[in-house]
Every structure is written in structure tokens, then in C-alpha cells.
Amino acid sequence: MNLAVTAPDRLVVRTVPVTDPGDLIAALPHPAALAWIRHGEGIVGWGEAARLHPTAGPHRFTDAAARLRDLFASATIDDPLHLPGTGPVAFGAFTFDPASPGSVLTVPRRILGRRDGHAWLTTIGDPDDPDAPARPMTAPTGLTWHQGALPAHTWQQRVATAVQRIRDGRLGKVVLARDITATADAPIDARVLLHRLAARYPDCYTFAVDGLVGATPELLVRRRGDRVDSLVLAGTTARGTGPADDAARAAALTTSPKDLHEHSYAADMVRDALAPLCADLHVPDRPELLTLANVMHLASALHGRLDSDRSVLDVVAALHPTPAVGGAPTPTALDLIAELEGMDRGRYAGPTGWIDARGDGEWGIALRCADIDGPRARLFAGCGIVADSVPADELAEAHNKFRPMREALHGPPHN
């Protein structure tokens, strides 16, 4: 692993309580934003005290966890709060494919947080060193849209191929993703996208890490001490045109053999991955309905207690990739993804989140997101394909899953 540290060899970290900062996103001084926010609570960061680029490969999560432990263990830390997210924190985003480059962990110079009635500011390095000058937020303009790796009709053909492989008995489920791109007149300000996503999708985890920006509904794992939580989402329908249509769609989703079958693959895998790590584990008998602004999902919330001292990244290593973003059985599904998708997902559908010096943290799956590179945004959407999948329906679902990031780039209709 390459470890690039832009601060002195020994990090000097100081966390202090502060008065309620209000809108955390508004506190970000420039577009190079780091964020993890839900219902207005969480952490944001800016500047760079340290940066790690995990080496591609099957051990990247545990290697990253070990390097971070060494970095934080050598730091001088003054943290009177001792809360999840206080002290030094690394924001991270890993690629979906372990062989792909691009995974990153960033320890910011400033971290502002709010949770459970507490607010704090963490400074890493010399507190008297000036930050980069603040820059006003600027909304994207002049957007032009381009097809991604595969045009729609070709992607539908690939879905049909996947369905046939499943019906032939080669696998039970595969997740196929699409991408589209947008280009603006000027570099895209991640803070604008964060504001719009957090306002419209408060139940999701709104995140930004090294240009990857999104609002994911899927919590891969939360670790606080020995307690771990995971939220499995699989099985989706679009929101209706009103309450009656919503109720009909919800009833259809919760009784759909296709969607229940898809969901069971994902929930069973997460259960099987967490069980060896946990002294006890609660798994619901049936999924519940999670209703968001644009879609409804089948959701299962799992809770457990770790049987030994493992960091949140150690648990991420056991869980990724789940059938919700890969398929089942996993090796066969990943081979089919490589054959049919026609693209490298990059960090889409990979784990993204944060970890502190205690090993606590929250990591989601990078869904409903875009990779921002200057004026260019690459958007992603994926669909779980099973034996009953209809290619045209899956294309419509993918289109609906693009909607959060398209809205974030365009802004509300009155803009």
C-alpha cells in the first residue's frame, strides 16, 4: 500500500466541543468536500492531512485497516469526547472490483461533526495553518448528456442474456449496471450536489469522497464498539402517482415472488458473512418496506455483537460484495458482470464511508452516485436480474435510479 502523508510524520489531533454548527454542508469551504450525513447529522471534512491509496487486491480492506491503525496509533490525540467520529477520521471509497485501481482513504485537516446532541471540531496538524480560501458554491450550468458504455438497446440485450444464463441454472442472480455521463460548462461543485441530495433524500446517507458524490440508501455496516448493524436492500419499485398508487405498488412489491427471491439472496449472504464474526446476530424473518422519494425497496435490518475486536473495515472485508450489488453465487455473478457490462464500475457499488481511530465507523454501498472529475459527471445505476426479469422493466428501473443524481445536477424544476 502506498501511504502518502502531507502532514508531519506524527499526526497531531485535537477535538474540541463546539456550539451547534447548523448546516454541516454549508460549513464546507471549497468544492473538495468530504461528507457523510443523514438527517442533518454526521461529519464533514476538508483539507488533507494524510492520504492512503490501497493496493488493488483481495486483502485491500484489511491492509488498509492495518495501515490506518499504525497511522492513528502513532498520532498525538487530544479527544475529550470519545464519540464515534471524534478524533482522527479517514473518509474512504473503494472500487467495486478488487483488481481495479482508484480506492482511496483521506484523513482531512478539519472535521466538523454533529451527532446525538453533541457537536465538535477536529483539527489535524497545526491549527494555525491557514485553510485554502473559501469559495462560494456555484450550481452546474450548460449540462449536456451522453450515453455511457452501452446504449439502452444493447444493455437490454445483455439483460436478456443474463436472464437466459440464470434460467439455464448457471447462477441465481446477477446485478447489471449502466452508466451515463454529463458535462457542465465549468468544474462541478460537489457541495451543491450534497445540498440537493441531502434535502431530497434525508433518509439516505449523503456522501462525498474524492469526487464520488451520492446518496445511498444502503448501509453496508455500522460499527460502534462491539455492535454492528447492516441494512440489506434488494427488490425495488418506483413510487406511484399518489397515495393509492403507492399503496398498490407497495402491496405488489411485498408479495412479488421475483422481488422476494432477489431479496432473500442478499439477506442470506449478509447473514452468512456476519455470523462468523458475531457472538449473536438478529436477522428478521421477512423484509420491511423502505419508502424513499423516488423508489420503494424491500429492506432487512440485521443487528449483531462482534465476538472479538474487529474494526469496521474488517467487517467490510467480510461483506463486500453483497448479492445486492453483485449476485449469487458471487464468483459466477462477478464473471458474468465482467462479460456483459462492458465497463469498469470504478468505485460505483463499492464500499464508501468513514473509520475513526477506535475502529468505529459507517460504510455504505456507493449507489445513487456520480464520479465527478472537473466538469464531467459519470452516473451509475444497477438492477438485480433474476429468472423472471424483463429487460424493458429493468431499463425503466435503471432510469429511475439515475434520477437522484440527475436532479442533483439539474436542480429543482424551478431552477
Which of 213, 57, 84, 268 lies closest to 204, judged by CA?
213
Separation of alpha carbons 31 and 210, rounded Å:
10
Separation of alpha carbons 406 and 193, rounded Å:
10
C-alpha cell recorded at residue 6: 502531507
Give me the sign of the Cα torsion angle 167, 171, 173, 179. negative
258 belongs to the catalytic site: no
Place of cell 461543485: 189
Q: Which of 173, 394, 397, 407 is catalytic?
A: 173
Q: Which residues contact 379 (CB under 8 A, 6 or more apart)?
A: 179, 180, 181, 182, 369, 370, 402, 405, 406
Q: Which of 41, 48, 218, 394 is catalytic?
A: 218
The string of DSSP letters for 103-149 reads -EEEE-SEEEEEETTEEEEEEES-TTSPPPPP-------S-EEEE-S
- Half-sphere exposure in the Cβ direction for 90 (13 Å, CA): 32
Q: Which residues contact 102 (CB under 8 A, 6 or more apart)?
A: 95, 346, 347
218 belongs to the catalytic site: yes
Separation of alpha carbons 209 and 349, rounded Å:
14
**What letter would DSSP give residue 324?**
T
**Residue 13 amino acid letter:** V
Residue 368 CB: number of other CB atoms within 10 A?
A: 29
- Three-state SS letters, 350-405: CEEEEEECCCCEEEEECCCEEEEECCEEEEEEEEEECCCCCHHHHHHHHHHHHHHH
Active site residues: 173, 218
